[in-house]
Structure 1
C-alpha cells in the first residue's frame, strides 16, 4: 500500500471521528469506548475532552506494543494524538446547536465510518479499538461485536450522569456506530498482520 495514501486515509478517518464526537458532545450525548468514558469524565473534571482522551489511552499502548506490533502502535499513537488535537480545535472554533436525534444519527455514522477507515489502514483510536483489533486477529471475533459490548458498558455507566432522553439518544448513536462497523468492516488477512504472543 502506498505510504502517502495510508497516512492521508488515517488523517481523514480522524477528521470524521473528531467531527462526529464534536456533534455528539454539542448535543450532550455519548459514544462508546474510551471516547465515551472521556465524555462521562467531562462532567466531573476540569480537563477537556482532548486531554482526557489522550490520558485514558496511555495504558492501552502497552497492549498494542506487545501484541499488535510497533507499526500498529505508532499509527495508533499518531491517530489518538491527532484526534485529541482536532477535538481541541473544534471545541474552540466550531460552535453547534443541533437536534439530539440528528446529532445521534450523524455522530454515530461519522464515528463509525472514521473507525472503518482507521481499521483498514492498520490503525485505531486506542482503548476498546485496540482490544477489538486484538480479539479479531487473535480469536477472529468481529470488531463490531466488541464495540457493541463496549457500547452497553458505557451506557450503563452513563446512567448516573445523563437523563433518560439523553441516554436514549446516545443509544441511537451507539446503534448507528455498531451497524456501520458490523456491515462495512472487513477483517484483515490474519497471515499478513499476525498477533505477537507475549512471552511469559
Structure 2
C-alpha cells in the first residue's frame, strides 16, 4: 500500500474550538466528579487542588482556578495569546462545571477502582480534545505541551511522571488504598494521552 501523503494543517473554526472546549471540559469535569466521590486524586494542578480540597474542605473548583493563575504568564510567553486564552477558558469551564455538577449528578454507589479507570479515561479523552485544539488545563499541561512542541517529547509521558510524584505526595492526606487506586487512574489518563497524542499524528491549528 502506498504511504499516504501528509496533508497540510487545517485551521479550526471558532465553532470547532468552542465545541471542543465545552466537550473536553465536560468530560474532564465528569472524571473529576468520579474521583472526588471515590476520594481519589489525580496529577497536575488538579491533583494539587484535590489535596487542598481534601485537607481544608475548600471548594475544588475555586482552588483549581486559583492554582492555575501563575501558569498563564508562562503560557503567554511561550505558547502565545490564543493558546493562553483557550487555556484560561478551559480552566474556568472545568472550575464552573465541577461546582455545578452536584445539582444534576449524584453517585449512589461507585467502586473506587472503577472510578479510577473510568474517571481516568474520561479525563484523558477530555485532555486529548483540548490538546488537539491548542488548549490545556494550565499547570503541567502547559509545560508538557511546550516541551512536546519545542523538543518532541511526549506530553503524555511528561505528565505521567509528574502525576505519579503528586499522587505519591498524597500519602500524607489520603489513605494508602485510595492512593493505589489513584495511581491506576493516573495510568489510565496518561496512557490515553501517550498512545493518542504524539507529535505529527494530528495536524490542525
> What secondary structure does 1:94 align onto?
coil
Residue of structure 2 equivalent to 1:166: 178
Moved more, 91-100 or 146-155: 91-100
Residue of structure 2 equivalent to 1:196: none
Once the two structures are superposed, what CA deviation does each residue of 1:125-148 show, in whole Å capped at 9, x if it has no partner?
001111111111121111011111
Equivalent pair of 1:120/1:188 in contact (CA under 8 Å)? no
Distance 2:57 2:30 in 1: 22
1:1-200 matches, cutoff 5 A: 1-96=12-107, 97-187=109-199
Distance 2:200 2:139 in 1: 19
Distance 2:177 2:57 in 1: 25
Equivalent pair of 1:18/1:87 in contact (CA under 8 Å)? yes
Distance 2:168 2:136 in 1: 24
TM-score normalised by structure 1 residue count: 0.91
Calculate the aligned-residue CA RMSD, in Å: 1.7
* TM-superposed deviation, 1:7: 1.2
TM-score normalised by structure 2 residue count: 0.89
Counterparts in 2 of 1:110 and 1:173: CA distance versus 1, 3 Å:
same
Gaps of 5+ in 1: 194-200
Runs of 4+ in 1 over 6 A off after TM superposition: none
Distance 1:104 1:137 in 2: 29
Distance 2:154 2:120 in 1: 19
* TM-superposed deviation, 1:188: 5.4
Once the two structures are superposed, what CA deviation does each residue of 1:32-68 show, in whole Å capped at 9, x if it has no partner?
1110110011122242000000000000000000000
The number of equivalent residue pairs is 192
> What secondary structure does 2:188 align onto?
helix
> What secondary structure does 2:55 align onto?
coil
Gaps of 5+ in 2: 1-11
